[in-house]
Amino acid sequence: MTQKKLRNWSVEQRRRMIEPANSNFSMSRQCRLLGLTRSSYYHRLKPESAENLALMKAIDKAHTDQPFFGARQMILFLGDEGLGGQP
């Protein structure tokens, strides 16, 4: 398989191709062949907390309703709504 084709694959797809028990190729070599950094092989995403998801949803809705709000106005608005920031 060529490097060009591998670039179209997601990190997760390339991560699944690595065989940790393979004695012929080290982990470092396998990652290099797949065009994957070793840190991205070991890194696992953490799911977003329910609180953070609610805050992101509120920010998205507020931005949709008031697209002219800047960062400071958004902080004040979210504080008034009881969602963090400064009241």
Q: Tens digit of pLDDT for each residue in 33-82?
A: 888 889 988 888 889 999 889 889 988 988 899 899 898 998 888 888 77
The two structure tokens encoding residue 58:
């509120």
For residue 66, which of 57, 77, 56, 82 has the smallest C-alpha distance? 77
- At residue 50, the pLDDT reads 92
The two structure tokens encoding residue 41:
């092989």
pTM over 0.85? The answer is no
What confidence tier does 87 reach under pLDDT thresholds 50, 70, 90? very low
Task: Tell which wins on pLDDT, 3 or 73.
Answer: 73
